[in-house]
Amino acid sequence: MFHPILLLLGFWYVLPAYVANGFAVFGKFIKSRHPIDRGRLLGDGQPLLGPGKTWEGFIIGFLSGVVIGLLQIVTAPFLLSIIVQYVYLPPELVPIVLMTIPLVILVALGALVGDLIGSFIKRRLLIARGRPAPLLDQLDFLIMAMLLGALITPIHWILAIFLLIVTPVLHLLANVIGYLLRLKQEPW
């Protein structure tokens, strides 16, 4: 076992995914928007993905996630030097701190693809665009980010479990704050 404070490295690993997922929302401020599914309906009469998934959101989210990831790569040696001063860092966690450009790209891409898969599943379950799907809404992007990221550097399983537990809580907290600040219509 490693020091519990190192659980926070889970956030470091998926930060490009959190940012990609959060910034995709800015797709809605672009005037001419292009739904990824081009309005296509499937046999069940429901949209393939729905009008909430646009190329604009996808690209803004992806680029934002990659920019954050590049900043992380640049600052990683500094973070590493601080960590090793205070706690024992198991060698298997070192690549998670340092990251690489392919890792950052796959984690950001995974978040956006996971979000699309989440919408695909919601439409098949007849959940309308924008209606909540508890856990699916909060975890689709995270799970896919970790899976694609694992192609380059798998996240430690303890960090993965930590993220799966805390991400829905953080998501809810962020939405309640957005609601109190009147940025959001509903507190979920």
Scan residues 43-62 and list those touching ligand CTP (CB under 6 A).
Answer: 50, 52-54, 56-58
CB neighbours (10 Å) of residue 22? 16
156 contacts ligand CTP (rule: CB under 6 A)? no
Residue 73 or residue 139: which is nearer to ligand CTP going by CB? 139
CB of 71 to ligand CTP, least distance (A): 22
Residue 38 or residue 85: which is nearer to ligand CTP going by CB? 38
Tell me the β-bridge partners of 54. Answer: 35
Question: How far apart, in Å, are the Cα atoms of 65 and each of 13, 37, 155?
Answer: 12, 23, 18
The answer to whether residues 95 and 50 touch, using CB atoms and an 8 Å cutoff, is no
Separate counts of helices (H) and strands (E) for the chain: 6, 0
72 contacts ligand CTP (rule: CB under 6 A)? no
Q: Rounded distance, CA 96 to CA 104, Å?
A: 11
Q: Which of 83, 71, 142, 67 is nearest to 112 (CA)?
A: 142
CB of 107 to ligand CTP, least distance (A): 16
119 contacts ligand CTP (rule: CB under 6 A)? yes
Tell whether the torsion through CA atoms of 96, 100, 103 and 109 is positive or negative.
positive
10 contacts ligand CTP (rule: CB under 6 A)? no
CB of 167 to ligand CTP, least distance (A): 15
Residue 126 or residue 180: which is nearer to ligand CTP going by CB? 126
Interface contacts to ligand CTP, rule CB under 6 A:
24-25, 27-28, 50, 52-54, 56-58, 115, 119, 122, 129-130
